[in-house]
Amino acid sequence: MQNSKETVLSFRQRYGRPPIIGAAFAGLLVLSPIIMGGNPFLIFFSLGGLIIVVGGVITVSFMSFDAAEVHKALHVIVRMFKQEKAPPENLHSDVTAIIYCARLLMEKKGVRNLESVITKSGIRDPFLKYGLNMVLSDYTPDEIRAMLETAADAAYERENVTVDILQAMTSHGPAFGMVGTLVGMVAMLCNLTDNVSEIGPSLAVAFLSTLYGVLSARMLYIPAASKLRQEVDNRRFRNHLVTEGMVMLVAKKSPMYVQDRLNGFLRPESYDYFDITQAARATAAIQAVAAA
């Protein structure tokens, strides 16, 4: 009993619940005609069709793109069902860190203090580490902006290669499904006899390749490409926030200015600033109570 609980807990830690539920629900929709019709599940299985569709998509991908990038794309498909090991980028924490750096630079030995904090913190994020190193270098704000924007755009273009591979797989899946269907129909016609009862099962197996191609494109490649594109766009947005923050650090902007400027990158409900309208309402309420 204890081992079964540990197995369930390990599964929950390794795999994300929403994609698993979505895949299970989609599979249930596809298999519902079989369930209602009382047919065996094996009628929807064709090893030859799977080999043609999956093998064809992977083979063409390796022929069209760099092998390392194809491996990344295949890993993204697997990772789509797994639980994220680290939480997504928290823009609010990035803003807080940049404001803290701005406060350090306002001190007497600001540059040395900032350099000491960077050394002790052991920053792992490559883009943020690159930006802080630029702040400690003797560059102007415009030069910092140009270099960081170039780095952000280059990272975005490199990460989009994997998205392009997944989108290419989306078009290859149905195409190889049709190839499998044509191969199956040719084999069926070559072995055609007077026994008409054999045509139905053979034709059903031939069309399974098209089914595999469409399902793999809609349930694997398109969701993986969409999820990865969202991650890439979020990282690009975050890199622009870091770029703007590093530029203001070099320009020696005040912490309040940095805070108000970077608030524009956050959701309105996440703004961190002194709300003058609330202060005015509180003052009016106090005056009304005092007048009464």
Residue type, 21: I
Residue type, 31: L
Q: What does the pLDDT read at residue 13?
A: 47
What are the residue ranges of helices labelled H in the chain?
A: 2-14, 17-37, 47-64, 67-79, 91-105, 110-121, 126-136, 141-190, 199-216, 222-250, 255-262, 276-291
Q: What does the pLDDT read at residue 235?
A: 92
Q: What does the pLDDT read at residue 129?
A: 87
Q: How far apart are CA 220 and CA 177, in angstroms?
A: 15
Q: What does the pLDDT read at residue 37?
A: 57
Q: What does the pLDDT read at residue 173?
A: 93
Q: What does the pLDDT read at residue 272?
A: 64
Predicted confidence pLDDT, tens digits, the chain (292 residues): 445 544 444 544 455 466 666 666 566 666 666 555 555 666 777 888 888 999 999 999 999 999 999 999 999 998 887 756 544 557 888 888 888 888 888 877 777 877 877 777 777 888 988 998 888 888 899 999 999 999 999 999 999 999 999 999 999 999 999 998 888 888 777 777 666 666 666 677 778 889 899 989 988 999 999 999 999 999 999 999 999 999 999 998 888 888 888 888 888 776 766 544 444 444 454 344 445 4
Q: How far apart are CA 43 and CA 64, in angstroms?
A: 34
Q: Where are the domains of the chain?
A: 1-44, 48-275
**Full-prediction pTM beyond 0.85?**
no
Q: What does the pLDDT read at residue 14?
A: 54
Q: What does the pLDDT read at residue 243?
A: 95
